[in-house]
Structure 1
Amino acid sequence: MTEERKTGRHPPPGPHIPRERADPGVAVRRAALEILLRVENGGAYADVLLGSRLPQFAEADRRLLTRLVLGTLAWRGRLDYELERLARRPLGEVDPVVLEILRIGLFQLRFLDRIPKHAAVDTAVTLAHEHRRSRGAHGFVNAVLRAASRRAIALPPRSRDEFGYLAIKWSHPRWLVERMVEWFGAEGAEGVMAANNEAAPTAIRLNLGRGGRDEILARLERDGMEVASLGRFPETVILKGAPRFDSESFRAGLFHVQSEASQIVARLLAPARGATVADCAAAPGGKTTHLAELVGERGRVVGLDRNLAGLRVARSVAQRLAHSNVIFVQADASSELPLRNQSFDSVLVDAPCTGLGTLREHPELRWRLRPEDPARMSRVQAAILSNAAAHVRPGGAIVYAVCSLAPEEGSAVVDGFLERNRDFVLDTEPPGMAEIRDLIGLPGTIVLRPDRGGFDGFFAARMVRR
């Protein structure tokens, strides 16, 4: 999980946006503008803000709002390349509110075929009229977007600067394009970047401690949720559309929203029924409660995290899912932990990371991260893994996982750990792996990519203590 999202910090409010009015088309775009301004200028996270705004809209408008926000963020680099040429001025000279209105409008023109061009332009002009900082720029907004509706700006020649071309085509910062080509080759990098700009599937985890799968699925259907497909494990379900957080099945703790890749990581740990497990980076509680279900009522899970707000969220998740076999402790795993050495059957380290594997859900991260961040995070991750491993009993297992595609944060951390700790080895025959055997690459490790199977990008390794 990303370092920032592990902390549970909340950004300050963004600029004032007028209250919503009757026109639903303008209201959706007004909400998108408000969210994007807070993300771009206030350090907020789009998914958190969307979660608070979506209940205010009808189902179709929820889908549009989500698409506008996440799509505009994902394609920002490509949009800005066009806008600078259409506006004929550096975008640094354009007011941030005006720029965000232009991005929303251009995104619709380029990527939302079902929205008429005139609607994309007219609603953008309306937003410019409404906001006090853009009121005088409505003519400029109209001119730029009408020009965009008549012609598209061509991409630069690939032969002149391949990295620059790929950065604009797939809307990723240049440094990240260079790294991905290094990691995956040019063709693989394009596949990953293309997938990063698509919507992530909506995965949930059924709480099978509260009922059988068929029974819970029937209740989800009664609550208006439609199943698109079943996952690799009995508890994994992919929804068509968004989950209903206002539903009785959610309040009753019958499911929890959790990506399929995240569920695979908990399954890779494979704790036995009745086992004692430590989750050393427990917030916001998804994997912790998954482990609690896997070990059963006679097992015990200790969830540790340095962030008290994150632990409170995790505790509320455990309470809603009715898991009484979880204990939460505030502790920083990058330092010595308040646990007895070699006292746990299984330990999970879902380490704080750059989040480079989650750019579909969190497209803003690509514009916030810096080239030095993977190496910086790897030092923190190495310390956490070393401290956590001290509490694995002989014969026990530890899983190290990051939702990042950077080798510095994944295989390099594990290689360094194994070199320093000769009593640990990669588990070449993890138990109960029939469902995910095809995902295991090098013995004991899993690398997931968004362009292969639709998973979030994850690295995970299972090691055992001899």
Structure 2
Amino acid sequence: MRLHRNLCFAVVDGLMLIFNEGQYADKVIQQLLKRDKRWGSRDRAFVAETVYDIVRWKRLYAEIAEVKEPFDRDNIWRLFAVWATLRGIKLPNWSYFESTPTRKIKGRFDELSKIRKFRESIPDWMDELGEKELGKDIWTKEIAALNEQADVVLRVNTLQISKDKLQSELFDLDIETEFMPEYPNALKLKERTNVFQTEQFKNGMFEVQDASSQLVADFLDVEPGMRVVDTCAGAGGKTLHIASLMDNKGQIIALDIYANKLHELKRRAKRNGIFNIETRPIESTKVVKKLYDKADRVLIDAPCSGLGVLKRNPDAKWKLQPEFLDEIKKTQQEILQQYSRIVKPGGKLVYATCSILPSENQKQVEDFLTSELGKEFTFVTDKKVLSHKSGFDGFYMALLKKKD
């Protein structure tokens, strides 16, 4: 591979924003890809994947390069040199790469790879917490899996098209996909490509949604004609899936504290041809109280650490702090206490997170069930999805039923 100056500059500029200004990697990459209209798909892929790679392996590369944060521009070039050397890419004769100790880089990599926190490039506290909650063996496998690049998975909008037909139409566009037996509405891309430019996407025939995330709507056990409340709907990936499982019949009320996310949900619903979703921003406690004892099904896709989705959000490793985890656990229990009251007698509730930590998952459900409000519910079943077993995001979901 030959390195091109303008692409490498884009990578370095992006890393400066992510590491030194705390900007989100996905937003930075979106901006970088608009930088030069002459870039082809290979150029754009190089910029996006190299930025994500260096973000993912920041701690390991910084240790090898012997640089510390905050990184100046020269430090970022040294990280880039480590990335290129470890991939066997010949460094061009540029001033940034003068005196790069190629052999020393490989030796340091071999040495540091024996220590998990460096090998998997994670903060000390996260490594200790993962081992404490999951045990050494599972944590070692899980964090390795979470450092792999995420597959691109589509969820077919069965209101608009069948899975077979969508696969065939994408094949005609040279986009090859494969079926996934355990995920009834999923197609996995064989190679990464920009599917958002296709007419099929623009016409609402599919959404991009990780396979693990697609399990949640099925777990809720919805039927056409029900009243369903999605309490932390966000931009509505799971809401849209629920709507398709309900054949666009019945009522889905999508709640969120962020009105702008609900605007995005409305836009997506229109594109998907879905009209049984009503959005309600939570501007006061009244919004939730009005729904007490009214819903057949309630989904609480709770805010969480996001440790199960590090594949697609590698910068979360560096943004997440232990104090945030303490706070989010309190929030999770408060949400369970408040939103569970929306379930009507005989109705069902799903509590879900994209975390792999039992303290955010099983422990929250246990604490809820032993509380005064929780005594009205019975535990039905739960599902723990670990990335090293599934190959997809880490997830948790628990199904509870409210007594009649």
Q: Does TM-score exceed 0.5, indicating one fold?
A: yes
Residue of structure 2 equivalent to 1:457: 394
Residue of structure 1 equivalent to 2:197: 246
* Counterpart check, 1:303 vs 2:282: no
Residue of structure 2 equivalent to 1:99: 75
Deviations 1:134-156 (A, max 9, x none): xxxx45x4223556567545525
Residue 91 of structure 1: SS of its match in structure 2?
coil
Q: Pairwise mapping of residues 29-68 of structure 1 onto structure 2 (< 5 A)?
A: 29-54=8-33, 57-68=39-50
2:99 partner letter:
A
How far apart, CA to CA, are the structure 2 residues paired with 1:175 and 1:333? 36
2:85 partner letter:
L
**Aligned partner (choices 111, 135, 138) of residue 155 of structure 1:** 111
How far apart, CA to CA, are the structure 1 residues paired with 2:51 and 2:124? 22
How far apart, CA to CA, are the structure 2 residues paired with 1:463 and 1:333? 26
* Counterpart check, 1:418 vs 2:381: no
Residue of structure 1 equivalent to 2:341: 390
1:118 partner letter:
L
Residue of structure 2 equivalent to 1:128: none
**Residues 234 and 459 (structure 1), Cα distance of their counterparts in 2 relative to 1, 3 Å cut:** closer
Shift of 1:62: 3.4
**Aligned partner (choices 121, 140, 143) of residue 193 of structure 1:** 143
1:142 partner letter:
E
Residue 318 of structure 2: SS of its match in structure 1?
helix
**Residues 71 and 346 (structure 1), Cα distance of their counterparts in 2 relative to 1, 3 Å cut:** same
Shift of 1:173: 0.8
Shift of 1:73: 0.9
Shift of 1:334: 8.2
Residue 143 of structure 1: SS of its match in structure 2?
coil
Q: Where does structure 1 lack aligned partners over 5 or more consecutive residues?
A: 1-22, 85-89, 126-137, 159-164, 428-443
Shift of 1:394: 1.1
Residue 346 of structure 1: SS of its match in structure 2?
strand
**Residues 231 and 363 (structure 1), Cα distance of their counterparts in 2 relative to 1, 3 Å cut:** farther
**Aligned partner (choices 87, 94, 99) of residue 143 of structure 1:** 99
Residue 395 of structure 1: SS of its match in structure 2?
strand
Residue 196 of structure 2: SS of its match in structure 1?
coil
How far apart, CA to CA, are the structure 2 residues paired with 1:244 and 1:69? 20
**Aligned-residue identity in percent:** 26
Q: Where does structure 2 lack aligned partners over 5 or more consecutive residues?
A: none
Residue 378 of structure 2: SS of its match in structure 1?
strand
Residue of structure 1 equivalent to 2:212: 261
Residue 245 of structure 1: SS of its match in structure 2?
helix
Shift of 1:65: 2.4
**Residues 73 and 156 (structure 1), Cα distance of their counterparts in 2 relative to 1, 3 Å cut:** closer
**Residues 95 and 345 (structure 1), Cα distance of their counterparts in 2 relative to 1, 3 Å cut:** closer
The answer to whether the 8 Å contact 1:334/1:380 transfers is: no
How far apart, CA to CA, are the structure 2 residues paired with 1:238 and 1:61? 23
1:426 partner letter:
F
Q: Pairwise mapping of residues 223-372 of structure 1 onto structure 2 (< 5 A)?
A: 223-240=173-190, 241-331=192-282, 337-372=288-323
**Residues 150 and 289 (structure 1), Cα distance of their counterparts in 2 relative to 1, 3 Å cut:** closer
Residue 219 of structure 2: SS of its match in structure 1?
helix
How far apart, CA to CA, are the structure 1 residues paired with 2:64 and 2:363? 39
Residue of structure 2 equivalent to 1:117: 90
* Counterpart check, 1:181 vs 2:158: no
Deviations 1:315-356 (A, max 9, x none): 111111111111111016988615331111101011111111
How far apart, CA to CA, are the structure 2 residues paired with 1:149 and 1:142? 14
Residue 397 of structure 1: SS of its match in structure 2?
strand
Deviations 1:196-236 (A, max 9, x none): 21101111111110022211222222333220443523311
